[in-house]
Amino acid sequence: MANLKSIAAAAAPKLLSVMRIILGFTFSAHGAQKLLGFPAPMEGGGTVPLASFMGFAGTLELVGGLLILVGLFTRPVAFILSGMMAVAYFMVHAKGGFWPIVNHGELAVVYCFVFLYLSAAGGGPWSLDAAIRKV
């Protein structure tokens, strides 16, 4: 059992980096969809105007997601994105009912709290933040 704990302890920092990379990749896709119509167009087609609330959200998603993906400025960016997702939940989803499964806000809640975790934990060993610290 002690060996399993030591293996898990050794893997945890690397898995933090893997989680951050996947999170950044999936989150940036939301911004790319809003701003670029890629990888799939928005519902109804087209993109959102850059100078709009959704354009601002898309910019945060795309730029913030890419920064999270590479692990640059992970803590402050994750903190900002956590707040953004809390705002998104309460502005868009909460009015649809209390339960996230009912108001379709599960993803916003998960993103919010994983970003909050990253704001405390940092980007892990496989991040540009870690590479810069080594220099």
- The answer to whether the CB of 17 falls within 8 A of the CB of 123 is yes
Find the mean pLDDT for residues 27-41: 95
Domain boundaries, the chain: 2-134
List, for residues 45-63, the tens digit of each pLDDT value.
Answer: 889 999 999 999 999 999 9
Q: Does the structure show a pLDDT above 80 at 14?
A: yes
Q: Which residues contact 65 (CB under 8 A, 6 or more apart)?
A: 24, 25, 26, 27, 28, 29, 30, 31, 81
What is the model's pTM?
Answer: 0.94
> What pLDDT sits at residue 92?
95
Q: How confident is the model at residue 44 (pLDDT cuts 50, 70, 90)?
A: confident
List, for residues 84-98, the tens digit of each pLDDT value.
Answer: 999 999 999 999 999
Q: Does the structure show a pLDDT above 90 at 43?
A: no
> What pLDDT sits at residue 135?
79
